[in-house]
């Protein structure tokens, strides 16, 4: 039983609607999409017609403007069915959110209605050959012209870059980071689809090459120096939140698949589910999903309250949920044995997708560093003084041995 607390009637109804849609229209086709390494156009049209591409678009511009918890529930159910579809909501949502929050009146009026209906799909283009987690390593350059800007550089691993109609793209302008809205048909932009990636294979990744790519004055989103600290940071925060919820759904999918298989499979004269070591794996999946879901809900409530604590809560949720998803996927493959290594069961896809979750929107190691630093800053100013036990000169304590 999935543990959920404090959902409003509207949120509960939305979750049921998302669950039904994913069960009927997403999960049964996800393996085929994974093998084809793309989402079909007819599905994208249906997805848009349901208003799901407008999740991060304000209602004033034709979107559904979902509250943080409902947006999370959408990502959870999509993650349960297909992480590539969830990736679409993530990056399209990041572009939508950035334009809604930081765009000019003209930019909002032009792009947001198109984002809401799926007339235009947005992608997020930040990563470069030498700049991933280290966003300060950004090398793509922009220079001014009489009527706009010329962009030169390379972007890598752009999710849905092979399908997107516009890219929220970051470059240095006058030595400072800036954000641009670059249409797919901009002169000087070349899009190269990427195939054969480890996971989320249907997310239609691409590499972007910009050779004096020409964009008009109205392409600049915010002022120079504002690109990473505001536009990228806030969009990545939404993306991290989306991925965290998607990992909850992925963990739940691992549990569901393992429960079903362990109930049907017999070994040594008993059902697989009756072996204690299998029960341990099932118990870990169930507990991990519940804990990750609660962390995501906490982050959602804080986002809804516009609390400054939401940033840290989202880091915690994404860190725990992504690690839990990978451990659960590994165990799910183990439960399925040799069948888990073939393509007849989806757990092999879950494992590949889960590994990607530990890398995107803040790698596990980057999150560990950030969370640990935050823990130091938030500790009480005066720590209790030991009155007994090892002194400073008596050698390392047990804790020091562990952390050394």
Report residue 355 as tokens: 């590994």
Ranges for all domains in the chain classified under CATH 1.20.140.10: 229-377
Confidence category of residue 403, pLDDT binned at 50, 70, 90: very low
Q: Does the active-site annotation cover 154?
A: no
pTM to 2 decimal places: 0.90
Residue with tokens 């220079």: 143
Architecture of the domain spanning 229-377: Up-down Bundle (1.20)
Cross-strand bridge partners of residue 123: 167
Residue 325 near residue 318, CB atoms below 8 Å: no
Confidence category of residue 397, pLDDT binned at 50, 70, 90: very low
Task: Give pLDDT, residue 396.
Answer: 35
Catalytically annotated residue among 361, 365, 373, 400: 361
> For residues 337 and 362, which has the higher predicted lDDT (pLDDT)?
337
Residue 296 near residue 251, CB atoms below 8 Å: no
pLDDT single digits (tens) 272-312 = 788 889 899 999 999 999 999 999 999 999 999 999 999 99
Q: Is pLDDT of 260 > 50?
A: yes
Residue with tokens 């765009």: 103
Ranges for all domains in the chain classified under CATH 2.40.110.10: 123-224
Indicate the range of 177-181, 189-193, 339-343 predicted with least confidence: 339-343
Report residue 380 as tokens: 């009480």
Task: Give pLDDT, residue 1.
Answer: 61
Of residues 202, 194, 169, 232, the one with CA closest to residue 362:
232
pLDDT single digits (tens) 70-127 = 999 999 999 999 999 999 999 999 999 999 999 999 999 999 999 999 999 999 999 9
Report residue 253 as tokens: 């999918």
Q: Is pLDDT of 389 > 80?
A: no
Report residue 172 as tokens: 């240095």
CATH number corresponding to 123-224: 2.40.110.10
> For residues 388 and 22, which has the higher predicted lDDT (pLDDT)?
22
Task: Determine the straight-line distance between the first and last CA of the chain, rounded to whole angstroms.
Answer: 40
Long-range contact list for 275-279, CB < 8 A, 24+ apart? 278/335
Cβ neighbours of residue 192 under 8 Å, at least 6 residues apart?
206, 207, 208, 209
Rounded to an integer, the average pLDDT of 330-352 is 95
Rounded to an integer, the average pLDDT of 134-149 is 90
Task: Write the secondary structure of 23-72 as one string of H (helix), E (strand) and C (coil).
Answer: HHHHHHHHHHHHHHCCCCHHHHHHHHHCCHHHCCCCHHHCCCCCCHHHHH
Confidence category of residue 181, pLDDT binned at 50, 70, 90: very high
> What gap in Å lies between CA 403 and CA 286, rounded to an integer?
29
CA dist list (Å): 152 to 155, 164, 211, 212: 10, 19, 5, 5
Mean pLDDT of the chain: 91
Task: Give pLDDT, residue 153.
Answer: 97
Indicate the range of 2-11, 154-163, 190-199 predicted with least confidence: 2-11
Burial category of 280 from C-beta neighbours within 10 Å (exposed 0-12, middle 13-18, buried 19 and up): exposed
Chain centre distance of CA 45:
22
Class of domain 9-121: mainly alpha
Ranges for all domains in the chain classified under CATH 1.10.540.10: 9-121
């Amino acid at each position: 039983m999935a543990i959920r607390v404090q959902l409003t009637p509207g949120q509960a109804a939305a979750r049921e609607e998302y669950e039904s849609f994913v069960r009927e229209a997403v999960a049964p086709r996800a393996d085929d999409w994974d093998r084809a390494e793309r989402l079909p156009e007819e599905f994208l049209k249906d997805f848009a017609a349901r208003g799901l591409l407008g999740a991060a678009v304000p209602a004033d511009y034709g979107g559904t403007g979902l509250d943080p918890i409902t947006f999370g529930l959408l990502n959870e159910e999509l993650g349960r069915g297909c992480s590539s579809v969830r990736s679409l909501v993530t990056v399209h949502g990041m572009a939508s959110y950035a334009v809604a929050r930081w765009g000019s009146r003209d930019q909002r009026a032009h792009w947001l209605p198109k984002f809401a209906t799926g007339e235009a799909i947005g992608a997020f283009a930040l990563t470069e050959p030498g700049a991933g987690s280290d966003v300060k390593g950004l090398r793509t350059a922009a220079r001014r012209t009489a009527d706009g800007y010329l962009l030169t550089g390379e972007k890598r691993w752009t999710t849905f870059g092979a399908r997107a109609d516009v890219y929220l793209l970051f470059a240095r302008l006058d030595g400072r980071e800036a954000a641009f809205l670059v249409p797919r048909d901009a002169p000087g932009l070349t899009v190269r689809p990427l195939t054969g990636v480890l996971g989320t294979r249907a997310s239609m990744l691409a590499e972007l090459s910009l050779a004096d790519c020409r964009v008009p004055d109205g392409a600049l989103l915010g002022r120079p120096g504002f690109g990473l600290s505001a536009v990228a940071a806030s969009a990545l925060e939404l993306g991290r939140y989306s991925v965290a919820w998607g990992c909850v759904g992925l963990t739940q999918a691992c549990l569901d698949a393992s429960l079903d298989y362990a109930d049907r499979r017999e070994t040594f004269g008993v059902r697989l589910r009756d072996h204690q070591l299998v029960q341990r794996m099932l118990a870990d999946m169930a507990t991990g999903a519940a804990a990750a879901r609660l962390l995501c809900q906490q982050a959602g409530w804080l986002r809804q309250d516009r609390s400054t604590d939401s940033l840290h809560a989202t880091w915690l949720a994404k860190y725990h949920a992504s690690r839990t998803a990978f451990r659960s996927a590994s165990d799910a493959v183990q439960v399925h044995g040799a069948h888990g290594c073939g393509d007849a069961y989806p757990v092999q896809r879950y494992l590949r997708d889960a590994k990607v979750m530990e890398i995107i929107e803040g790698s596990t190691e980057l999150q560990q560093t950030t969370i640990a630093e935050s823990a130091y800053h938030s500790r009480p100013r005066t720590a209790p003084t030991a009155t007994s036990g090892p002194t400073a000169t008596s050698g390392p304590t047990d804790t020091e041995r562990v952390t050394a």
